[in-house]
Amino acid sequence: MSYDPQRHGPERIVGPGFHDRVFAVVRGVPEGFVTTYGDVAAALGRRSVARKVGHALAALAAGHDDVPWHRVVNAAGRISRPVESGSGAEQRRRLLGEGIDVGDDGRIAEFRRLRHSFDGA
DNA sequence: CGGCTGACGACCT
DNA sequence: GAGGTCGCCAGCC
């Protein structure tokens, strides 16, 4: 499925185009797999905007359940936010729910094997 | 319109 | 492997 900006209804939270692009890429991460901020940035054509990818996901809000933001972790294979924090704990819970083993320290077990690559694009 | 922020990452110790 | 520094750059104030 392709991304269509015009399908966003009145309750769309996203504004800036960059964010929309990030969300579109993240939607492409299959359940049970993870990717990194850097990989998403690379898929967008600019490896240097990894940090901005994180910023975009932080701007996500309720209503965008179609964006699997929890599948995005940092290059070290860890949840990039304290697991004791609200979002960090929720990310871990969601990953566990997909069968992905996450330590209580936020580290993704078998990160290398579960890392999704956007290859072609 | 200038300055600050930061869900990152490559490097170095 | 773990911890600190530095460069990136779209959004926000």
| pLDDT tens per residue across span A97-118 | 999 999 999 999 999 999 998 8
pLDDT of A4 higher than 50: no
Contacts of A69 (CB under 8 A, 6+ apart): A26, A57, A60, A91
Nucleotide nearest to A78 (CA to C1'): B7
pLDDT of A72 higher than 80: yes
The residue assigned the tokens 């309720």 is A62
pLDDT of A6 higher than 50: no
pLDDT score for A84: 86
User: For strand B, is any atom closer than 7 Å to the CB of A111?
Assistant: no
Strand B: positions under 7 A of a protein C-beta atom: 5-10
User: For strand B, is any atom closer than 7 Å to the CB of A57?
Assistant: yes
Burial bucket for residue A118 (CB in 10 Å: 0-12, 13-18, 19+): middle
Q: What span, in angstroms and rounded, lies between the C-alpha atoms of A53 and A51?
A: 5
